Amino acid sequence: MKIQIVRVELFKVSMALVREFETSSHRKGWIEHILVRATDSEGFVGWGESASPSDPYFCSENVDTCWLMLERYLVPALLGATWRTPIEAFGLAHINGNAFARAATDMACWDLYSRHLGQSMAEVLGGDAKTIEAGVSLGIEPTIDALLDVVAAYVNEGYRRVKLKIAPGWEAEPCRQVLRSFPGIALQVDGNGAFSPNDHRDTFSRLDKLGLTMIEQPFAADDLVAHAELQRRLSTPVCLDESVTSPAAARTALALDACRIVNVKVSRLGGLGPARAVHDICRAAGVPVWCGGMHEFGVGRAANLALASLPGFVFPSDVSGSDKYYERDIVSPPIIAKDGKVLVPRSVPGLGHEVVFGEVQRHLTGHATLSISQ
């Protein structure tokens, strides 16, 4: 089987969040991502999503840089070329970095490939789970009482894992109050690199006494030594997110014992292929993983769901229902969590959730078309 992409459309889409979301670096009330629709010479269509942040706080990429990389480099490298597997297609663009942009074309290629095979994306990736336990990621709230109200709403919906964003001054006490009010939940925290290894030793000693599932990315992404030193002091597992930007980075982090858990994000790693490779590396090393999210629309969320069906994903993943984020998503059927679990599509080829083009057009802020006839 050979696949040749002959036309690619880029759609910049902006949607309001149901609830504003605050991390240690900023607060946001809307999300703008880029969707990719790739059509091949046989008329098959594959969709991908670049779930980059709009601003360079989480990483160096943003929507504008991703649009540039897609339009000028990644899409032209794919157009007209023939490939047999998505891994082969991934190697067609010889560019450095730009993982969030690469994830969009990679995802579209996996969707196309799966549709050609007549199999679900989960099956093609090698996943066998029928349902995924979903967790919720909650931002920083104005008060602890407000946070408890938000947690209560999701616990009542059946979610059993809660992740709290933390920042200096908003760490141990919010966690303590959440655990006191909801003793049965699994609680983890995420620092997004906001803490200094030298200035916050007492903070992590306090957090270590709470029985958290994990402490995610407390320090800067490139400071693996600080993470390794922290892990040696704590009984709570350290989880790495921003630090794991490639399979090679994952091997380095594991060799340094810088973590005991890895957050695997399709966008941050540049696509489903590299994400699956990190899963395989961690599984071989006996290190559990979970699937993180970037407030994806339905396309990226469906890809995350397929990835999270792989056997190494043993912790609840950020694949909660779309209605937690958006009033109406861009895919049908919508991705729904029931009793804290999400069904993995297995009977429909590709992503298993079809794009509702009218919804894409309703939220459209930019559009471009590239084809081999240009």
Rounded to whole angstroms, what are the CA distances from 238 to 170, 189, 207, 245?
18, 10, 11, 17
> Do 108 and 266 touch, CB atoms closer than 8 A?
no
265 part of the active site? yes
Cα dihedral: 175, 178, 183, 187 (round 10): -50
> Do 243 and 219 touch, CB atoms closer than 8 A?
no
DSSP state of 307: H
Q: What token pair was written down for 16?
A: 């309001």
- Concatenated DSSP letters for 257-306? T--SEEEE-HHHHTSHHHHHHHHHHHHHTT--EEE---S--HHHHHHHHH
Alpha carbon distance, N-terminus to C-terminus of the chain: 26
DSSP state of 348: S
Cα dihedral: 25, 23, 305, 7 (round 10): -40
Instruction: List CB contacts of 170: < 8 A, sequence separation 6 or more.
Output: 140
Radius of gyration (C-alpha) of the chain in whole angstroms: 20
Return the axis-axis angle of helices 201-208 and 172-181, rounded to nearest 10°. Answer: 10
Residue of 265, 324, 338, 341 marked catalytic: 265
CA nearest neighbour of 7 among 46, 51, 34, 35: 46
The answer to whether the peptide bond before residue 183 is cis (omega within 30 degrees of 0) is no
DSSP state of 213: S
Residue of 12, 163, 165, 341 marked catalytic: 165
28 part of the active site? no
Q: Catalogue the active-site residues.
A: 165, 265
